[in-house]
Amino acid sequence: MHFTINGQSYEAEPDIRTSVLDLCREHLGLTGSKKGCDHGQCGACTVLINGRRVNSCLTLAVMHQDDEIVTIEGLGSPEDLHPMQAAFVAHDGYQCGYCTPGQICSAVGMLDEVKKGWPSHASADLTDVSFDNSEISERMSGNLCRCSAYPNIVDAIREVADQSGDEALKPARQPAEAGA
Amino acid sequence: MFGMGNTNSLKMDEPQPTSLLDTGAQQVIGKPLDRYEGPKKVSGRAMYSAEYRLANMAYGVLVGVGTGAGKVRHIDADAVKSLPGVIDVVTDFKHFIRNSGQGGETKAPTTGVEEVAYFGQVVAIVLGESYEAARDAALQLPVDVEPAEGRWDFEKHKHETEEPPANNIPAHQSKGDLDGAMAEAPVTLDVTYTTPSQNSAAMEPHASVAYWDEGKLTILGSYQIPSKDAQQLADALGVRSSHVRIISEYVGGGFGSKLGISPESAAAAIASKQLGRPVKAVMLRQQVFDATVRRSNTEQRIRFAAGSDGRLTGIGHETLCANLPNEDFFEPTGIGTQSLYAGENRLITHDLVRMNLTLCGSMRAPGEAVGMIALECAMDELAEKLEIDPIELRRRNEPERDPMKDVPFSTRQLIGCMEEGAERFGWNKRNPTPGQVRDGEWLIGMGMAAATRSNLIQNDSAKVTLDAAGHATIETAMTDIGTGTYTVLAQVAGELLGLNADQITVKLGNSDAPPSAGSGGSWGACGSGSSVYLACQRIREELAKKLGVDPDAMTLKDGQAIAENRTTRIAELAGEGIEAMGEISPGKQKDAVTQCSYGAHFCEVGVNRVTGEVRVRRYLGVFSAGRILNLKTARSQCLGAITFGIGSALTEELVHDTRNGKAVNHDLAEYHVPVNADVPQIEVHFLEERDIHTNPLHAKGIGELGISGAPAAVANAIHNACGVRIRDFPLTLDKILGALPAV
Amino acid sequence: MKTFTYERAGSVDEAVRDSSAGGRYIAGGTNLLDLMKLQVETPDKLVDISRLPLDRIEEREDGGLTIGALVPNSDLAADPRVIAGYEVLSRALLAGASGQLRNKASTGGNLLQRTRCYYFYDTAMACNKREPGSGCSAIGGFNRIHAILGASEHCIATHPSDMAVAMRALDAVIITQKADGDKRRISIHDFYRLPGDTPQIENVLEPGELITHVELPAPVEGARHLYRKVRDRASYAFALVSVAGVVRMDGGMIASAALAFGGVAHMPWRNPAVEAALVGKAPSAQAFEAAADALLADAKGYGSNDFKIPLARRTLIASLRELTGE
């Protein structure tokens, strides 16, 4: 089978049952994406497929030979960190680090979703999203963090959103609605 | 301990009035530095155990039984061996681990899997050329178990109790006459709280990659205490401990579940030996719930005898908890109660109920995590009964000395934490009458609770080498499980040796390195950090000798040694290199004073008056834990611990089917750990403190402090919000619903 | 996961032809692969339909919307036409799963997702849905997430979808193509089956029948929409109880009401008696109570889910208040 991952071409002969996650981890030496549950219940395996964040454990490698896959390794390296990666370091958006690649890929995909105007369960008005912290929290709830760096993860994403200067990523002018 | 020529040993018999951390010129200690290994973690370059690929490696998937008690009659390996890609089915009734090891043990845990003691017990490992082949065969492997009646219903068996031997603390302690105090007191409280089974649910499943090389076993695995885990495993396999090496460079969370060895370790080792190939065994998430360790459920009776001013004359904390037959661990719920509040008449007991369910062992803050729920909720009930502010009630019961042991506290700022927290949180805006504050559909309330966690060190050691380039390397078997060890050790060494992080290499997690008590019990940073301190102290002495001055007269900064107006490069002084070992061990200070970290939690919740759903709106914690070694990582540890507390209060419960012992909700979809949306932007503050009794760092443990009392703060807030006092955790909406007014 | 043969279908006709007995369609795969990993589902063949041209949302002349079966949940929820005319559907979708799962899960697959019953998920446990006649482990066991309506002594499972509940409130029509090439229109009200004594049969689809589209009728003008989901944590959890409502007011009276319920039954639940208690009436506590009475008249708890009965009552009443502006 033939794959395009992080802009590179890969050949592999995985089992027909091999997930995109196990393709990366077991066949291609791309161990950055993590297996936390193997059932789409934790988000640690999140990668970007054609720019969309997905759980790579719940999709077959064989079905993605025509797609562009981006994993955490493709976002940046220790010498050349992606802004989201750098923000996670600065804000301590991690502890044990196991959920971290999934968090970062998810956050990158999520910001694109907001820029596309996609609302969330936290949006009071589905046509006009105020991208405040409750939006970040809701949209990132598909990435479990047991060490719980959640407040720091929100801060890291907020910083990247603010730095982008993008209108769609600006927080609400009013304080976020409490309790809901 | 290694016999080394250049060893600086310290037994904590005496207080340490001074610390080199206060006279260092590098100014890195305490600072909120980014994690040493941060760039690796965020770019996916940090290697966790299951990520190692060895030549000719086979994949192993464990097989757990689908029966809750009995005896294995037959495992039909032939039924699956012909499946494509399947190499073999390996089982070893005698040596496979039945119950995981407990933290700190060096002897083997309970082995022998022909007898089935609980649902999901691991009895075999299937080996395949691929993960998919092994998993397929493992799910299909017929395991015939002759079933037996098991003890799966706690309620049914809870009157059949036994007093266990001491473990962490004595099982039964008493002082004075509690019954008498209860009879005489003007005000009494007698309430029972129950907490459920819980699971650490670290994001990285238990994993071991095993290979043998000329009779020596290496395991690349996820372990909190490699030094002791290697010994546990060696004993379990019947090999010399010098022949087992465990390497855990990065651990994807432990929270107690990886303190001792689990079934996949022995299974991987035995299979690897049999096959003559490396074997990677990674637990399926369901197996982590079934076959590693759980926090026991508890039933805790709290009795208070008090004057009408709230001063306690009697405290009773009696607990029922569970464990498998022949396992002595009990959840030490009374550990915080021992010294938190004054009151002459005291009874603190723990009794075990034998259950055929997953092993009970340590999970973050064993004891305080659930014991403080009962204690701190009961204090809130007492405060309400007496119409005294909850903080004032605790103030009135602040002991001057340890009320059980009658020794001083080393340092204690509980009152300071409560007062600072109250001020920052706006506690004076709280309406003490429940059910008075609304925000649309939400009933709003505030609650608080005290936090305490005992502080200790274990024997620990580290080697520090200063090389000819002036670069320092730290080596110890200590681990970083997200706790920040890499960074904190580099800061200690950096402060003492005048080096920045880029001039320091930290090597962790290899059991062949100087032994360490590992990550657990909040003793890690203090024990390991002290070892590094002592080693660096010796290196400073060597450097000073070379300069011909007293160490006190020498300043190390930015790779330079400054003394008597001369500046010399440390690299130059290091010559061919200087190596030193640091060793620390507990001593008389452990009992001469009572050592704990303290804190206070403040929580605001909304309770939905239609559905009973609870949302945490605001949360603030103030903590005092001696010198804070790194403000950033310490704060994060508290955020994480508080979040465990929120989960404990509101969502976490591992349910076992009473008919067969099956862990019903054994995955991350149905065992509800908090998600991002469950957790507000928690605030954490620290009070400045130095403790000269604990260790030369003047620090205390911080990793578990934040969970102590947190669930009670949430529960007390719920009560303030809607007047409902629920004593059965977690406080799910169905328990609140019945007490809400009609909609 | 048991092994299988895999084919990518080049067209709908090809897909339907290739899907023999034992073969399953795979689109997003988020439910099917989950179950295959546990060998709850063991298809011999997977027919990959994920690239078929069924991913459009189109407006019809009658004012309704036709949704391709492969439209992902995210795209459906974010579509301006869905938000404008069918807000309950958008809200329901956004309340479900996680961003990652919504990006992959398809409309058709969401309708067909299987129960989350803990015992269904464990092949070591007796389950009439997995193995007819073997028994129901949930009855007498831990059944917090199970049904209070329409269940039987053979099965008390619930359908976990949020989207399907909204679609039931919207009177969706499911368009299929059968193995013999014929096309079918199936009202969502006729699509699902109660467990009865055949809990292994969840809907009326025939072997090889492929959902190609879902049609929504023209939106109810001036209606208020609501989807309220009650669950055990703030996000990323299935519904304990949910309410989907589309209510139109006229002159202070309830002119029309469509109410569907999740978390309570083997299918998204809708009971005309609930709506009959409301239509033509002025909003009032009595009317709302009557609607709740109608909903829960035959409700039955199984020990761990008894709370769903008062929860459903309270959630419905609060939802009706919001929908009627009361």
Tokens of B304: 């208070």
Q: Tell me if the bond preceding B730 is cis, omega within 30° of 0.
A: yes
Which partners does chain C have (≥3 C-beta pairs < 8 Å)?
A, B
pLDDT of residue C19: 79
**Which residue range(s) make up the domain with C283?**
224-323
Cβ neighbours of A118 in C, within 8 Å = 74, 77-78
The pLDDT mean for chain C works out to 97
Question: Which whole-number Å values give the CA distances from B403 to B190, B331, B398, in the listed order?
Answer: 21, 22, 10
Per-residue pLDDT of A71-108, as tens digits, reads: 999 999 999 999 999 999 999 999 999 999 999 999 99
Strand, coil or helix: what is B679? coil
Interface touch B670/C1, C-beta < 8 Å? no
Question: pLDDT class for C17, splitting at 50, 70, 90?
Answer: confident
Q: Which helix (H) or strand (E) holds B475?
A: strand B472-475
The sheet carrying B143-147 orders its strands as B115-116, B70-75, B143-147
d(CA C326, CA C318) in angstroms, rounded, equals 10
Identity of residue B577: G
**CB-nearest partner of C94 from A40, A109, A119:** A119
How many structural domains compose chain C? Answer: 2
Q: Which CATH class is domain A2-75?
A: alpha beta
Rounded Cα gap, residues B110 and B569, in angstroms: 55
Among C249, C250, C272, C229, smallest CA distance to C321 is for C249
Task: Look up the CATH number of the domain holding residue C318.
Answer: 3.30.390.50
Q: How much is the pLDDT for C326?
A: 64
Q: Are B640 and A147 in contact (CB under 8 A)?
A: yes
Active site residue B249: no
| ipTM, 2 dp | 0.97
- Equal CATH topology for A2-75 and A83-169: no
Q: pTM here?
A: 0.98
DSSP string, B312-340: EEEEEEEEEEEE-TT------GGGTHHHH
Stronger pLDDT, B554 or C17, i.e. the higher one: B554
Any domain includes C156: no
For A38-72, b where at least 16 C-beta lie within 10 A, e where not — what string?
bbbbbbbbbbbbeebbbbbbbbbbbbbeebebbbb
Look at residue C106 and tell me if it is in a domain.
no
Tell me if chain B has a CB within 8 Å of the CB of C253.
no
- Do the Cβ atoms of B530 and B582 come closer than 8 Å? yes
Residues of C in contact with A53 (CB under 8 A): 99-100, 103
Query: Which residues in chain C touch residue B675, judged by CB atoms under 8 angstroms apart?
Result: 233-237
* Cβ-based contacts of A145 with chain B (< 8 Å): 203, 676
B140 and C39 in contact by Cβ < 8 A?
yes
Judged by a CB distance cut-off of 8 A, whether residue A54 touches chain C is yes
Alpha-carbon torsion (B3, B5, B7, B11), positive or negative: positive
Q: Which class would CATH give A83-169?
A: mainly alpha
- Residue A15 tokens, joined: 């089992």
**Per-residue pLDDT tens digits for C160-215:** 999 999 999 999 999 999 988 899 999 999 999 999 999 999 999 999 999 999 99
Q: Are A106 and C99 within 8 A, CB to CB?
A: yes
Rounded to an integer, what distance in angstroms lies between the CA atom of residue B391 and that of residue B401? 19
The domain spans of chain A are 2-75, 83-169
CA distance C72 to C96: 13
Smallest CA–CA distance, residue B665 to chain C, in Å, is 7
State how beta strands A68-70 and A46-49 pair.
antiparallel
B615 and B449 in contact (C-beta within 8 Å)?
no
pLDDT band at C21 (very low <50, low <70, confident <90, very high): low
For residue B267, the surrounding DSSP H or E stretch is: helix B263-275
pLDDT at C223: 98
Containing B735, the helix (H) or strand (E) segment is helix B733-737
- A residues 145-174 closer than 8 Å to B (CB): 145-155
Q: Is A148's CB within 8 Å of B644's CB? A: yes
Contact B640 A148 (CB under 8 A): yes
Please give chain A's pLDDT, 180 residues, in tens: 999 999 999 999 999 999 999 999 999 999 999 999 999 999 999 999 999 999 999 999 999 999 999 999 999 999 999 999 999 999 999 999 999 999 999 999 999 999 999 999 999 999 999 999 999 999 999 999 999 989 999 999 999 999 999 999 998 654 544 444
**HSE-up of A36 (CA within 13 Å, CB side)?**
32
CA angle A152, A56, B57 (to 5 degrees): 105
Beta strands in B508-658 (DSSP E): 555-557, 560-563, 566-569, 578-586, 596-608, 614-624
Q: How far is B237 from chain A (nearest CA, A)?
A: 28
Q: Are B640 and A95 in contact (CB < 8 Å)?
A: yes
Could you tell me if residue C63 is inside a domain? no
Amino acid identity, position B131? Y
* Chain B hits for C318, Cβ within 8 Å: 441, 610-611, 743
Q: What is the pLDDT of residue C121?
A: 98
Looking at residue B691, its pLDDT comes to 98
* CA of C276 vs chain A CAs: smallest distance (Å): 30
Name the band, by pLDDT with cuts 50, 70 and 90, for residue C247.
Answer: very high
Q: What's the Cα-to-Cα distance from B703 to each of B622, B708, C125, rounded to whole Å? A: 14, 10, 39
Nearest residue, CB atoms, A16 vs list C3, C77, C91: C3
User: Low-confidence residues of chain B, pLDDT below 70?
Assistant: 1-5
Q: Is A34 part of the contact surface with chain C (CB cutoff 8 Å)?
A: no
How many other CB atoms are found less than 10 A from the CB of residue B431? 12
Q: Which of B204, B384, B652, B704 is catalytic?
A: B704
What is the mean predicted confidence (pLDDT) over C281-295? 98
Asked whether the beta carbons of residue A41 and residue B439 sit closer than 8 angstroms, the reply is no
> For residue C232, is it within any domain?
yes
Nearest CA among B411, C8, B375, C38 for reference residue A60: C8
How far out from the chain centre does Cα C140 lie?
A: 26
